[in-house]
Structure 1
């Protein structure tokens, strides 16, 4: 079980010693995973506990909300992804101006040493921390010498290339020299390139939200959909039709054809994300009373862009083709 804390004061007095890493971890992509792998191996070698320190909201949303990037994932999905790596605990610090004003030494002493009993710290090579981002890896190493903890600096995965080629099931560096980053994932999703997003993330991109009532046009056309609320978390990919999965509140994965955007065949439709479950068994009808439930939608492949059709008949024919294509793509994956 992963311990989740929201303040250093919540850490039990008998917890530790620990190995700690620090970061926003938006996306928990392959670069982050490299740091986390070092965290876990170092903790195992030392017989210590492994702890991730992260922040909510994202610092950019506090310092420059007008230009802050859209987050790849909400807090719950970030916690799930971090827990999936096997870490012992996550400290989610509320990011505000008071925290932002802490000097690097105040942060290291108060949070890492006094709060988490850190014996060792594992960080990415581009670490910045403390007031005005005045602290970096050299600062952390100097503080470790003074405060009694060791420091490992990790050159994150993809620093010399990009995971764009699959060699026998193992992603390796490509030729363009780009390192894994949350920015890269956002750029890929903005173009609807969920394959590249999956490669950089190390897993399919997902959104999470409550199922709400829509205009019921899909049901009228024979393709009922689960509509995500407009406050759903996770980066919204480019408009289009995707193959993917709907994961219901019980954890069951259902193959789905997913629509993102405003349906141009009908006027006055606002942009939305909706998933049509493919081949729903008749005996599972009750399981699809999803209204009010929080579900997850995963994006596996982009089928096409959003197109305006001359009428409902042409749209229905295209939707049938979309379902066939999505089924073919997802059939080989199975309900993982």
Structure 2
């Protein structure tokens, strides 16, 4: 997986000629969860069978955030991480179609003729059974199949993917689990550990004073992850991986009115991470946020959190090849 050249394209008009005529998986794919992976793997199989390029057509920003800018979607995977997973799975390119109100006003027919046929020249489309597109969601799976016959491309619809409890795997289910701190259950639906990405910023350096220096990352305001303490792994831009314990929330003991931050204490680590964009994979929820009566009491608890996180991380195993890629050493 993931060894060939991969392109991340912002507009289908800039698609290189050698990638036209490919098999295209279409969808938002927020989370790239096990249900999405079923669609994506089907597209890869189709591309391999036809010996044609494999592409993913997705939309940025998430359409719901465009229609409801006052309530932006809590993204399970930021665009860069989504692209990285798609690359690792073996696709040739991802086209991140700029989604605006103007784009949303295009008819289903225009989407097919302008994007799928005109820009991408697809030979086959693979999508979920409930995919809708075009103005007012005019285009449905039946429309897409009829359009394929008219324009000379095939269509594969992939049924809903159900977990071991026969429930449909969805991004909304995963968001709900994360909001309750149920990160292990969320990982079971994702097929890999929930991972966030942000730039490390400077803080008050109180953690350094207490003997627990942290890498501080401001996540998007709509992030719904439960506030609390987590066992994590941090991956640097150079690919190196480091275990740690992280607090996500408002720091009730020292700064109860501050904006939520992800503060990661990286074990056995002394380098400067300021300004570096890092990823943090979350393995386990340790406890909720608490206000302590003193800094000394906070330090005692932080030492317990460190010990618990070290123990938890010592026994973890990858859930999948994607999990190994995102949250484990890449041997």
TM beyond 0.5: yes
Q: Is 1:228 aligned with 2:217? A: yes
Deviates more, 1:26-35 or 1:303-312: 303-312
Q: Is 1:27 aligned with 2:16? A: no
Match for residue 195 of structure 1? 184
Work out the CA distance in 1 between the residues paired with 2:52 and 2:160. Answer: 22
Match for residue 323 of structure 1? 306
Quote how far apart the aligned CAs of 1:307 are.
Answer: 1.3
Decide whether the 8 Å contact of 1:261 with 1:306 is kept in 2.
yes
Quote how far apart the aligned CAs of 1:8 are.
Answer: 1.9
Q: Is 1:48 aligned with 2:52? A: yes
Quote how far apart the aligned CAs of 1:278 are.
Answer: 1.4
Q: Is 1:218 aligned with 2:211? A: no
**Structure 2 regions of 5+ residues with no counterpart?**
318-327
Quote how far apart the aligned CAs of 1:236 are.
Answer: 4.7
SS of the counterpart of 2:17? coil
| TM-score, with structure 2 as normaliser | 0.91
Decide whether the 8 Å contact of 1:29 with 1:201 is kept in 2.
yes
Deviations 1:37-69 (A, max 9, x none): 100001111111111101111111111222342
SS of the counterpart of 1:180? coil
SS of the counterpart of 1:276? strand
Quote how far apart the aligned CAs of 1:267 are.
Answer: 4.4
Calculate the aligned-residue CA RMSD, in Å: 1.7
SS of the counterpart of 2:244? strand
Deviates more, 1:14-23 or 1:30-39: 14-23
Match for residue 242 of structure 2? 254
Deviations 1:19-40 (A, max 9, x none): 1121111111111000001000
Decide whether the 8 Å contact of 1:207 with 1:235 is kept in 2.
no
**Structure 1 regions of 5+ residues with no counterpart?**
163-172
Decide whether the 8 Å contact of 1:32 with 1:156 is kept in 2.
no
Work out the CA distance in 1 between the residues paired with 2:63 and 2:238. Answer: 33
Deviations 1:266-314 (A, max 9, x none): 244522110001133xxxx3xx211111111110000111112221121
Work out the CA distance in 2 between the residues paired with 1:78 and 1:178. Answer: 24
| TM-score, with structure 1 as normaliser | 0.89
User: Structure 1 residues 303 and 126, CA, compared in 2 at 3 Å: closer, same or farther?
Assistant: same
SS of the counterpart of 1:157? coil
Q: Is 1:245 aligned with 2:233? A: yes
Match for residue 127 of structure 2? 123
Q: Is 1:74 aligned with 2:63? A: no
Deviations 1:154-177 (A, max 9, x none): 01321xxx2xxxxxxxxxx11xx4
Match for residue 110 of structure 2? 106
- Residues matched between the structures, number: 314
Work out the CA distance in 2 between the residues paired with 1:104 and 1:82. Answer: 26
The one of 298, 305, 324 aligned to 2:281: 298
